[in-house]
Homo-oligomer: A and B are copies of this chain.
Amino acid sequence: MCRFLAYRGEPIFLTDLVCAPSHSLVHQSLHAAEAKTETNGDGFGIGWYGERQVPGTYREVRPAWSDENLRSLCDQVRSGLFFAHVRASTGTATTRANCHPFAHGRHLFMHNGQIGGYSRIKRRIEALIPDDLYETRHGTTDSEAIFLLAIANGLATDPVDAMARTLKQVRVLMVEAGIAEALKFTAAVTDGENLWAYRWSCDGNPPTLYFREAGGNLLVVSEPIDDKTKGWREVPKGCGLVARAGSETRVQCLNEAMAQLAA
């Protein structure tokens, strides 16, 4: 599994969240507290929005805790919307192209979880991705495949519905293949303006997800980066977070969206 962090609000230096806090994401790369694995050392990545419409990314195969470049970048880059992710591989290779966040056009996506039995249905999932999107697949992870499939399913228009459709499609393939392991999906996506997060698993036991709001700034994390009592709220299992610019952040039920699709 992995640990991640998403921020939207007043522009701040990335280091203020990624490196500085007592239980920062970099600290979690060595000592995650609520993850299946304590060590998240199979690469990492950051993605941020600056002056361009498309985000910048820095992804690297080395552990986050010892990366001098990460420290320097987080110290220099100030952004009002950024993602950061430390990876614990669930089987795919440690390459830059397999590190999160994944960027596509204006979108960033990152994932904590996995498609159970992925290697057995990898190509069937890939077959669902349209040609023009498949050309942009640079890595081999389940996470990137989900992202591209979600784009095909309308991520740009309705991110909750698109992700519900995507998870349904993947589940169908899993069931067909008789896969017993779970589909676990705690994730975040942004179009550079709005932010969505998800916490869902087919076995009702998705990885943790928290958020905190203060003064119009939203922070979404796998686990609190400081004192757990300081205003953190847990995203309920089976739910998503919708944080549209200019609107209140609200929790939306992903299970419901998926049920409606089934109807």
Knowing A39-B30, A140-B138, the reply to whether A66 touches B94 (Cβ < 8 A) is yes
Taken residue by residue from 58 to 86, chain A's Cβ proximity to chain B (1 for < 8 Å, 0 otherwise) reads as 11111101101100110111100000000
Task: Say whether A127 faces chain B, with CB atoms less than 8 Å apart.
Answer: yes
Knowing A62-B62, A127-B127, A134-B122, the reply to whether A73 touches B56 (Cβ < 8 A) is yes
Task: Report the interface size class on chain A.
Answer: 35 or more
B residues in contact with A61, CB < 8 Å: 62
Asked if B41 and A68 make an inter-chain contact with CB atoms under 8 angstroms apart, the answer reads: no
Q: How far is the CA of A96 from the CA of B61 in the complex (A)?
A: 11
Task: Say whether A50 faces chain B, with CB atoms less than 8 Å apart.
Answer: yes
Return the 10 tightest CB-CB contacts between A and B, nearest first. Answer: A56-B76, A95-B95, A119-B135, A41-B41, A66-B94, A50-B76, A56-B72, A58-B69, A123-B134, A39-B39
Pairs across A and B, CB under 8 Å, 27 listed: A39-B39, A48-B76, A51-B76, A52-B75, A54-B75, A56-B76, A56-B77, A57-B68, A58-B58, A58-B72, A60-B69, A62-B94, A66-B94, A68-B96, A69-B69, A76-B77, A93-B96, A93-B97, A93-B138, A95-B96, A120-B135, A122-B134, A122-B135, A123-B126, A123-B127, A123-B134, A126-B126
Q: Which residues of A contact B (CB under 8 A)?
A: 30, 38-39, 41-42, 48, 50-52, 54, 56-63, 65-66, 68-69, 72-73, 75-78, 89, 93-97, 119-120, 122-123, 126-127, 129, 131, 134-135, 137-140
